[in-house]
Amino acid sequence: MISFLRSIAAEFAKIFTTRLWWILALVLFGYIGLLAGGLAVLFSGLQTGVISPDTVNTGGGELSGFGSLPPIIYSFASSIGYVFPVLIGALATTGEFRHQTLTPTFLATPRRGVVLGAKTVTLLLVGAAFGLIALAASVGIGGGIMSAFGVDALLLDPETWLLVARSVLAMALWAAIGVGLGVLVPSQVASIVIVLAFTQFVEPLLRLAASFLEVTAKIGNFLPGAASDALVGASIFNLMTPAGAAPLDWWQGGLVLLGYAIVATVIGYAVSWRKDVT
């Protein structure tokens, strides 16, 4: 047990003694702040009539069809920002292979399962911290702009803060998925390509394609991004896809994400982590 806690402390030290974490955190904050802020300006402007609907081609959609605006803006933190915890999780594992730091790591802690468990716990917490950073951007900047336009930012609504809590949980799980991906695909370049290609192109297209038929929509609900959005309870993606099958409950979405993390990590442990370090 003591060796597990020491391992966790060592994994934290690894994250915070290189520059990657704050570079990713900074980009995450800027990216989500820009998106949430920009769309808050657009939608609040449309809703309050400051921006004329005629100046924006909304494709004939009714403004009322957006439903409540603030949850969608706030959920940018996870629906768009989830790629950041996946990246830091994947880099935390693949970096050990790439820089051959598995050698000193396993010399200091020969029980490899302990190290991988410690890394997962550490990245869950780092992912949660990334969630807080992303939410500071989406709620802080997005909510501030909505308030400035006179739109109710729902900051006193407990539902908003439940969404925030579920978003933090989702971001934590995404970082654990990153750790799993990193042991599954130890090549750093391959891992990064998979993260970017899957999150930015493959999954959004699959979700869109799956949503056209009810039976595929049910399967589509189990895609990691869809499960994450179900866990959070709101997403810009839900607006962009035709009404298909009802999404999973929030807790089901959470369990699906947890499942992806566990399966990837366990298989990765067998295919790379416990192999010879040469």
Partner 1 sequence: MPTGALIEFTNISKRFGGVTAVNDLSFTVKPGRVTGFLGPNGAGKTTSLRILLGLVAASSGTATFGGVRYRDLPHPLQTVGAALEAATFHPGRSARDHLGVYAIAAGLPRTRVLEVLTQVGLAAHAAQRVGGYSLGMRQRLGLAYALLGDPGVLVLDEPINGLDPEGIRWIRGFLRDMAAEGRTVLVSSHLLSEVQQSVDDVVIIARGELIHLGPLSSLDTDAAAQTIVDSPNRDALAAALTTAGISFSIGRTGLLAATSDPALLGHLAFEAGVELSVLHRQKAGLEDSFLTLVGGGHSL
Residues that bind partner 1 (CB under 8 A): 2-3, 6-7, 9-10, 13-14, 17-20, 95, 99-101, 103-111, 276-278
Query: Which lies closer to partner 1 via its Cβ, residue 2 or residue 243?
Result: 2
Query: Which lies closer to partner 1 via its Cβ, residue 62 or residue 276?
Result: 276
Give residue for tokens 């909510």.
143
Query: Which lies closer to partner 1 via its Cβ, residue 55 or residue 278?
Result: 278
| Residues 130, 20: Cα–Cα separation, whole Å | 13
Contacts with 47 (C-beta within 8 Å, 6 or more apart), sequence order:
63, 69, 149, 151
| Residues 158, 144: Cα–Cα separation, whole Å | 18
Shortest distance in whole angstroms from residue 158 CB to partner 1:
40
Shortest distance in whole angstroms from residue 126 CB to partner 1:
15
Shortest distance in whole angstroms from residue 122 CB to partner 1:
12
- Strand residues in 100-230 grouped as ranges (E): none
Query: Which lies closer to partner 1 via its Cβ, residue 149 or residue 273?
Result: 273
Among candidate residues 109, 85, 254, 256, the one with its CA nearest the CA of residue 181? 85
Shortest distance in whole angstroms from residue 119 CB to partner 1:
12
Among candidate residues 77, 61, 70, 74, the one with its CA nearest the CA of residue 239? 61
Shortest distance in whole angstroms from residue 263 CB to partner 1:
25
Among candidate residues 183, 30, 28, 191, the one with its CA nearest the CA of residue 113? 183
Give residue for tokens 């969608």.
72
Shortest distance in whole angstroms from residue 96 CB to partner 1:
9
Query: Which lies closer to partner 1 via its Cβ, residue 17 or residue 55?
Result: 17
**Residue 116, phi then psi, degrees to nearest 5:** -65, -40
| Residues 211, 215: Cα–Cα separation, whole Å | 9
DSSP, res 223:
S
- Asked if 131 and 165 touch (Cβ cutoff 8 Å), the reply is no
Among candidate residues 165, 176, 163, the one with its CA nearest the CA of residue 235? 163
Shortest distance in whole angstroms from residue 112 CB to partner 1:
9
Query: Which lies closer to partner 1 via its Cβ, residue 7 or residue 47?
Result: 7
Query: Which lies closer to partner 1 via its Cβ, residue 115 or residue 151?
Result: 115
